[in-house]
Amino acid sequence: MRHVLFGQSGLRVSELCLGAMVFGDARELGASRKDSQEVFEAFAAAGGSFIDTADHYADGESERLVGEFVASDRDSFVISTKWSVARHGGLQRSGNGRRNMMRAVEASLRRLKTDRIDLYSLHAWDYATPCEEIMRGLDDLVRGGKVHYVAISDTPAWEVSRAKAAHQPAGRRSGSPIPDGTMRIAAEVGSIAALMGASPAQVALAWVRQQQAAVPVIPIIGARTKAQLESNLQSLSVQLDDSALGRLDKVSAIELGFPHDFLRTDYVRALLHGGEPDRLTLRQPLPHPVSDLAMGSGVTKK
């Protein structure tokens, strides 16, 4: 497995990240210790080094298992964990505030049996804590050596922009939303998978991996069994051609709305470039030019 740089940092991580959300059966929903260890060992044997967990996964059992599995070779692994969420404990054991942040990081260090966390992420925005308080707390953790890099997950884009103004985080984390059009995208993924003789999951992972040239994206793969993990790892040998990439890019294109779609129409682009829009090379090429008819703007060409 190849390694890539994480976000805008110098942190080296495997091109796939092992999600440990299902490590531990404390809630009778996840994998047993035996199955979790088999998944971890198969990932490590494939060259994987990046592991993602969180303080509330399996009520802390996920962190304990990850700490146990990496203990014999800690420096070979990059551990990512998160704070903010708590199923139990009330207000004082949840949220983004500095007090809970400091409590949570110490608890995670104990469960992971390590002296530092490689990547520490805010798990979800609580709509209560000032951005400046969060970034100051994270900066203190980095300066104190308890945390090496920080990131932000499941947070509105405008709040991430404010955080970047206060401090430059290493990266952003995406959750698992199910927006409109997901079933349409899944159908297209399934169609391409059938043509290639691969599974839909392998095609989806290959598609995300092949975006890394333009956007540093690292897929987090989760598995309850070794067989599931090995199937996901086979995505490393799946290479999508330009036709397949184009189909997937088109079906997954996000509708940005006004003014973005308006400004991307052929008519407006022509106006902005004196009738010769294709003669100018843009720093960021428009990913999916929108036709005037598709946009339905009611603009009449003269």
Each residue's pLDDT tens digit, 11-69: 999 999 999 999 998 777 789 999 999 999 999 999 999 999 999 999 999 999 999 99
* The domain boundary residue, chosen from 175, 192, 223: 175
Q: Are residues 34 and 171 in the same domain?
A: yes
How is residue 127 written in tokens?
A: 């709509």
Q: Cα(165)–Cα(69) distance, rounded to whole angstroms?
A: 38
Task: Please tell me which residue in 57, 120, 127, 267 is annotated as part of the active site.
Answer: 57
Q: Cα(40)–Cα(225) distance, rounded to whole angstroms?
A: 10
pTM above 0.85, yes or no: no
pLDDT given for residue 167 in this prediction: 66
How is residue 43 written in tokens?
A: 């990932």
Residues 200-211 have pLDDT tens digits of 999 999 999 998
- Judge whether 210 lies within some domain: no
Query: Looking at the predicted structure, is the pLDDT value of residue 127 above 70?
Result: yes
Domain range spanning residue 284? 260-295
50 vs 278, higher pLDDT: 50
Q: Are residues 42 and 167 in the same domain?
A: yes
| 3-state SS assignment for residue 250 | helix
- Judge whether 207 lies within some domain: no
Q: Are residues 279 and 145 in the same domain?
A: no
Q: How many structural domains compose the chain?
A: 2
| 3-state SS assignment for residue 284 | coil
Please say if 127 is a catalytic residue: no
